[in-house]
A and B are shown apart, each in its own frame.
Chain A
Amino acid sequence: MFKRLKNIAGRRKDKARLSKKDTLASQKREKNKSVQSSVTDNLNLFKQIYKIPENMDVKIREFTLGKSGRKAAILFISSIIDSKRLEESIIKPLLQCQDDDAKISEIIFNPILTPVTEIKKVIVHLNLGNAAIFLDGDHTAYMVDCAKFESRAIEQPQNEAVIKGPKEAFTEKVVVNLSLIRKRIKNEKLIVEATVVSERSKNEVLILYIRNLADEKMVANIKSRLENLSVDAVQNLSLLEQYIEERRYSLFPSVLYTERPDRAVSFLEDGNIVLLMDNSPDCMVLPATFWSYFHSPEDHYLRFAFGNFSRIIRIVALFITLFTSAIYVAVTTYHAEMIPADLLLAIAGTRERVPFPAFFEILIMEIAFELIREAGLRVPNPMGPTIGIVGALILGQAAVEANIISPIVIIVVALSGLSSFAISDVSLNFAIRIVRFGFIFSASLFGIYGMTALFITGLFYMVSIKSFGVPYLAPMSPHYVSSGDTIFRKVVTSEVFRPGYLKPADLKKKGDGSTK
């Protein structure tokens, strides 16, 4: 009975689906035709495909050519073309032409002109912002490049600001990003390959690598991973990351984002692969190791000592973020003897009137801090500072006075919260902040023993994970030949090797910086 009902219901559903005309399949079917010789036929077909005139920005301009009055038409999507260029270099010369035998390529001023015979390809060009010229009695459509997608201008990097060094950042326009990279690498071996990754929206990903540096197996691996993707739409790199990464549930990120072209270029020159996409004001660097999240481009722009000084500060900040709160819980709960007596008395004195165990106290404050942080991010701009003041100052002060929290806890949590801002990479920042809670829990359960247990488990996990075949903590462990750019960096002239874990075709960099 139920089966039958289900069958009926199912059949109905199927029928309903079939009766729908506008499916992806029908969309494909329409395209598998070739350009007709009659302009009217062509235009009718395209009117059907693009649903003109309901589709308001797809425009057709019909006119006659030369003395004989040969019928012609231009088809374009007005919102993504440069109308001035279209007018100057295409329409004007076409209208002014009096010679009947002249070929299109002799009339038009535009540098890029592609003759196309398949409807499928015409559509691809049109969607990319090209204009199509149809002529009566001609089986080809002439595609002229006059695309102009609106986007921001090049601005300063927002998340990876530096004091010393270039201040250009990627924008949402892939052509601009590409030119920013080409500006830095004037090498014909810098290859830019394009792959379409989505079925419906036809999003395009550019794969950049330097041919005689990058490991070809890795390039092939990444290409095949992109090509085997089956999705409807991938808007930008942040989403693409989640499609191509290996461990989707892992806390640790496996690809690196940077909005700085100089950083992308330095990775390219080491043999990494860079992905670019429209609508992403950043690029994706593959493969990435733990150290690349920890580094900042400024480490290398600053002189040796200064760069390493900021690295020390950062690694200290990282450990403070991870451990201070947990150590406070562990020490006050299990290892009180390790605190010098005076400090111990001070802590005991402030904690005297607080009704909660240390673990709970820390947890309240850590959650409060995360709340303020998240709220501060989402709050409209003019109200931002207010939230900060109310949240951090008044709330903290009042909590202490109300004997909910002891003042030392405020210091501990503020320290760990503040330090977390020293880790600039968003993904690593999140990972560290989440792991911190793990340490607090383990500290409350087993004190230092629990923390060490979690730490070593984390280490085991981190050495075992790989980003596109590269161990996460390479080149430190397992050891590889490299310039040793991990926690510290060397003097620039000593950085003579490319990272061995990338298996670059050319391991040694030419020249050690000394004069010839």
Chain B
Amino acid sequence: MKQTKGKMGIREFAAILFLLIGTKITDDTPTYLYSGAKNAAWISMLLISMALIIPTILLLKVLSVHKGKNLHEINLYLFGKVIGNMVSFTLLILGLLTIVMDSSVYVDIIGTMYFTKTPTIAIFAVLMCVSAYGAKKGVEHIGSVAWLVFFYTKVTLIVALFFTFKEGNSKLLFPILGPGVGGIVKTAAQKLSIFGDFFYAGLIAPFVATFKDFRRGMFLTYLILTVELTVALMLFVMLFDFTSVEILNYPFHETIRYIQIGFLTNVETLFFPFWLVATFIRFSFYIYLFVLLLGGIFKIREFEYLIPLVTVIFILLGIAPETPLITISENRDMTLQVLSPLLFVLPCVMWIIAKIRGDFKNESSV
């Protein structure tokens, strides 16, 4: 019951994770899955979820014996100062790439789907400034806002998916294995990093009121997000068929353009604000994580003051590529593939080292 200062409860934490990973279905992530696994992308998604359950459990195990420490501090503890910092630095660079590319993708979505005449830099600046403002407020306030808007964003998503289901044709899901088991597994293995945010969530473990809340929040969101992403991937195929869904860059936005609700023929602007809200929260959280890790590595205690600087860098990097759609999608594909094995292996390595060091011995007494 008691709310300790600067900490968030399970609701806020779960809401952040939901919005963080839930929005992935609305950007170009599905395209990467569809291009490999065709109409069986949803099976790949299930496989990803199943495969990552082991590292996630291991990660939670490691975190559970180091309560009050965040991922970076545990890295330092387990790998020693030099290697620990290098591991964290790698994570930081990958985080930087993710933020820069994701933000360009989102700006591209807004620019190409809704505001075709608005200059990219203006859209970019607004997105990043608002997110930076949110990040400056700190993680517990990001959590609060996420929890406030959580239901509305989810309800609108469910409504959109429901109407997609009404329009869709379930026969398009067959043949159920799509390109064959090999293709599905390969895609899943390459795109493991879709759930990578769960790993990064370890950075804010100390901000959650109790570790029990953290673990429960992780499992709950893990389960529901798996269902959500799988169902959405199935529905997109049902609506567009795999040949066209592969070409579509942003299937969610095409979907809400496609569906009709009663007498309203163009409903995308109804869903757009809710999607935007989730987007803002997502980037607020990303920026916060980034400066948190940056502050951790370079021992900057007042890391919140880095936010304006970091934001400017993000904007400059984000608008640098001239044809974002092509450049970004290639780079993003590559990052996803680099990140995937890392996210699988790293928690396992952390667990093994913790085991060797004997961190788990006191566990029973705790």
**Residues in A lying within 8 Å of B, measured CB to CB:** 331, 334-335, 337-338, 340-341, 446-453, 455-457, 459-461, 463-464, 471, 473, 476-481, 500-501, 503, 507
Residues of B contacting A334 in the complex (Cβ-Cβ under 8 angstroms)? 114-115
Of the candidates B114, B145, B265, the one whose C-beta lies within 8 Å of that of A477 is B145
Residues of B contacting A448 in the complex (Cβ-Cβ under 8 angstroms)? 114, 269, 272-273, 276
* Other contacts beyond A447-B115, A449-B126: 7, CB < 8 A: A338-B269, A453-B130, A456-B130, A456-B280, A457-B130, A460-B142, A473-B144
Residues of B contacting A460 in the complex (Cβ-Cβ under 8 angstroms)? 133-134, 137, 141-142, 145, 284
- Write the nearest CB–CB distance from A337 to chain B, whole angstroms: 5
| Interface pair A452/B3, CB less than 8 Å apart | no
| Interface pair A451/B265, CB less than 8 Å apart | no
- Write the nearest CB–CB distance from B119 to chain A, whole angstroms: 11
Of the candidates A453, A478, A480, the one whose C-beta lies within 8 Å of that of B143 is A478
Give complex CA distance A331, B115 in Å.
12
| Interface pair B12/A478, CB less than 8 Å apart | yes
| Interface pair B126/A478, CB less than 8 Å apart | no
- Write the nearest CB–CB distance from A25 to chain B, whole angstroms: 44
- Write the nearest CB–CB distance from A509 to chain B, whole angstroms: 15
- Write the nearest CB–CB distance from B68 to chain A, whole angstroms: 20
- Write the nearest CB–CB distance from A345 to chain B, whole angstroms: 14
Residues of A contacting B142 in the complex (Cβ-Cβ under 8 angstroms)? 460
Residues of B contacting A500 in the complex (Cβ-Cβ under 8 angstroms)? 1, 3
Residues of B contacting A473 in the complex (Cβ-Cβ under 8 angstroms)? 144, 148
Knowing A334-B115, A338-B267, A340-B264, the reply to whether A479 touches B277 (Cβ < 8 A) is no
Name the CB-closest residue of A to B115: A449
Q: How many residues of B contact A (CB 8 A)?
A: 44
B146-163 CB contacts (< 8 Å) to partner A: 147-149
Residues of B contacting A456 in the complex (Cβ-Cβ under 8 angstroms)? 130, 134, 145, 276-277, 280-281
Of the candidates A338, A341, A452, the one whose C-beta lies within 8 Å of that of B277 is A452
| Interface pair B3/A480, CB less than 8 Å apart | yes
| Interface pair A338/B147, CB less than 8 Å apart | no
| Interface pair A478/B8, CB less than 8 Å apart | yes
- Write the nearest CB–CB distance from A370 to chain B, whole angstroms: 26
Interface of chain A: mostly helix, strand, loop or mixed:
helix
Residues of A contacting B28 in the complex (Cβ-Cβ under 8 angstroms)? none
What are 29 A-B pairs at a CB distance below 8 A? A334-B115, A337-B266, A338-B269, A340-B264, A446-B126, A447-B114, A449-B276, A450-B126, A452-B272, A452-B273, A452-B280, A453-B127, A453-B130, A456-B145, A456-B276, A457-B133, A460-B284, A463-B141, A464-B138, A473-B144, A476-B148, A477-B11, A478-B3, A478-B8, A478-B143, A480-B3, A500-B1, A500-B3, A503-B2
Residues of B contacting A337 in the complex (Cβ-Cβ under 8 angstroms)? 266, 269
Mask of B267-294 contacts with A, CB within 8 angstroms, 1/0: 1111011001100110010000000000
Q: Which of A446, A451, A479, A501 has the most CB of B within 10 A?
A: A479
Residues of B contacting A338 in the complex (Cβ-Cβ under 8 angstroms)? 264, 266-270
Knowing A446-B118, A451-B273, A453-B126, the reply to whether A463 touches B263 (Cβ < 8 A) is no
Residues of A contacting B318 in the complex (Cβ-Cβ under 8 angstroms)? none
| Interface pair A478/B140, CB less than 8 Å apart | yes
| Interface pair B149/A459, CB less than 8 Å apart | yes
Name the CB-closest residue of B to A480: B3
| Interface pair A449/B123, CB less than 8 Å apart | yes
Mask of B5-16 contacts with A, CB within 8 angstroms, 1/0: 000110110000
- Write the nearest CB–CB distance from B128 to chain A, whole angstroms: 11
| Interface pair B126/A471, CB less than 8 Å apart | no
Knowing A449-B110, A450-B126, A457-B133, the reply to whether A479 touches B149 (Cβ < 8 A) is no
Give complex CA distance A283, B204 in Å.
42
Residues of A contacting B273 in the complex (Cβ-Cβ under 8 angstroms)? 448, 451-452, 455
- Write the nearest CB–CB distance from B292 to chain A, whole angstroms: 17
| Interface pair B137/A464, CB less than 8 Å apart | yes
- Write the nearest CB–CB distance from A428 to chain B, whole angstroms: 18
Give complex CA distance A501, B4 in Å.
11
Knowing A447-B115, A451-B273, A478-B3, the reply to whether A459 touches B145 (Cβ < 8 A) is yes
Residues of B contacting A501 in the complex (Cβ-Cβ under 8 angstroms)? 3
Name the CB-closest residue of A to B8: A478
B233-252 CB contacts (< 8 Å) to partner A: none
| Interface pair B141/A464, CB less than 8 Å apart | yes
Name the CB-closest residue of A to B146: A477
Knowing A448-B272, A479-B12, A481-B1, the reply to whether A471 touches B144 (Cβ < 8 A) is yes
- Write the nearest CB–CB distance from A500 to chain B, whole angstroms: 6
Name the CB-closest residue of A to B7: A478
- Write the nearest CB–CB distance from A302 to chain B, whole angstroms: 26
Give complex CA distance A278, B268 in Å.
56
8 tightest A-B CB contacts, nearest first: A463-B144, A338-B269, A452-B276, A477-B144, A477-B148, A456-B280, A477-B147, A452-B273
Name the CB-closest residue of A to B267: A338
- Write the nearest CB–CB distance from A217 to chain B, whole angstroms: 13
- Write the nearest CB–CB distance from A267 to chain B, whole angstroms: 20
Residues of A contacting B284 in the complex (Cβ-Cβ under 8 angstroms)? 460
| Interface pair B1/A459, CB less than 8 Å apart | no
Give complex CA distance A450, B272 in Å.
12
Name the CB-closest residue of A to B134: A460
Give complex CA distance A471, B3 in Å.
11
Residues of A contacting B141 in the complex (Cβ-Cβ under 8 angstroms)? 460, 463-464
Give complex CA distance A495, B144 in Å.
23
Name the CB-closest residue of A to B15: A477
Residues of B contacting A478 in the complex (Cβ-Cβ under 8 angstroms)? 3, 8-9, 12, 140, 143-144, 147
Residues of A contacting B133 in the complex (Cβ-Cβ under 8 angstroms)? 457, 460
Residues of B contacting A453 in the complex (Cβ-Cβ under 8 angstroms)? 126-127, 130, 276, 280
| Interface pair B110/A463, CB less than 8 Å apart | no
